[in-house]
Structures are given as C-alpha cells and as structure tokens.
Amino acid sequence: MSAKGTDYTIEGIDKLKSLVKDITMCLFCTDIKNNDGSTARPMSATHVCDKGNIWFFDQKNSDKNKEIAKDPNVQLFFSHPPKGSYLVVNGHASIVLDRDKIDELWSPAVGIWFEGGKEDPNVSLIKVEPKSAYFWDTDGNQMINFIKMAASVVTGTNLVGGTEGEIKV
C-alpha cells in the first residue's frame, strides 16, 4: 500500500458501511484475551447502522452469546482478497432481543438459520459498537493488480496503489 490516510466521523461510518457491505463475511472473535482460535467463527454481518454499529443474527443460546455475556470485547476480521479489501474492527458487543429490531433487520436469507422464522424464540441479534477500526484497500481489481505487480517486478517500481487508515466512528 502506498497511501496512508485517516477517515473521521461520518466519512468513517460511510467507509465502514461500504467495506462491510462489500465483504459481509468476517471472523467474529470472542474471548479475545484467551483466544486459541476456537472462539473465532465465520459470521455474516446483516447491517451497519448510521451510528456505525454492526449487526448480526445469532441463536440466543449460542456459545458466542454466552461468551459475550462474560466479556463483551470482540474483534471482527473482514477479508475480501479478490478486491484487496480488508478490515479489522475492535468493539463492544451486546445481545439484543428487541422484536422490533429483529423485524427491521430480518431477511429471507437469515431464515435458513432459524426453524421458526423470525418468530423463533431462539432468535437474537448481536450489536457490535466499534471502538476502533482499521482498513486496507487496494486500488483496482485482482487482474489489474496482478498485471501491475508483474510490471512492478520488471520496472523495479511499485505500481500497485491503495489506501489504509484508521476509521473513526
């Protein structure tokens, strides 16, 4: 990466929304002080609200929710190698059982995880309030960057550009 930048407040939230929308899947890590890898789970982010909170659906009685109840500090690792986009979020998670919020964020894709649909008594939401976030974004797509890398080897000059920076939310 050649350019380093920092986004602030609303620009930061917009950048966070954009990256999460493009990447969607992340490794959701709980018990980060003692993590041996067993508490890192793939999860799909459902929504990023205007405050920058990242929302997920989960089973109310899941191990993840139990771990969040003990220690709400979490890390989210988003990665989209073909686009060269990466995001790390450190945040505070909370379990939300609000039926109106569940209705608001529900989609048919979520329904495959809950036998009773959105009325399933085991449906819960996890809200992650970011405390810090950092991103890496490569300019262009994978094929163009491959060509640029090959040209960089020949010319001895780095032709692959991108940005990285802290996202303030």
Q: Kindly state the DSSP code that residue 124 receives in the 8-state scheme.
A: E
Q: How far apart are CA 127 and CA 79, in angstroms?
A: 20
Listed residue (14, 12, 10) closest to 22, CA to CA: 14
- The structure tokens 């041996």 sit at 36
pLDDT of residue 136: 84
pLDDT of residue 11: 73
**pLDDT band of 96, cuts 50, 70, 90:** very high
153 within domain boundaries: no
pLDDT of residue 37: 80
pLDDT of residue 163: 63
pLDDT of residue 83: 79
Mean residue pLDDT of the chain comes to 82
Structural domain containing residue 86: 3-137
7 within domain boundaries: yes
Q: How far apart are CA 75 and CA 32, in angstroms?
A: 7
- pLDDT by residue (tens digit) across 117-148? 999 999 999 999 999 999 887 755 544 444 43
- The structure tokens 């890590």 sit at 29
Q: Identify which has the larger pLDDT, 9 or 123.
A: 123
Evaluate if residue 98 carries a pLDDT over 50. yes
Beta-carbon neighbour count of residue 152 at 10 Å? 14
Q: Kindly state the DSSP code that residue 7 receives in the 8-state scheme.
A: B
95 within domain boundaries: yes
148 within domain boundaries: no
CB 138 within 8 A of CB 148: no
Evaluate if residue 74 carries a pLDDT over 90. yes
154 within domain boundaries: no
CATH number of the domain encompassing residue 26: 2.30.110.10
- Predicted TM-score of the model (pTM): 0.81
Q: How many domains does the chain have?
A: 1
**pLDDT band of 38, cuts 50, 70, 90:** confident
- Write out the DSSP string of 38-104: TTEEEEE--EE-TT--EEEEEETT-HHHHHHHH--EEEEEEEETTTTEEEEEEEEEEEE--HHHHHH
Q: Kindly state the DSSP code that residue 139 receives in the 8-state scheme.
A: S
Q: Kindly state the DSSP code that residue 165 receives in the 8-state scheme.
A: E
Evaluate if residue 82 carries a pLDDT over 50. yes
146 within domain boundaries: no
Please report, as a single letter, which amino acid is at residue 92.
H
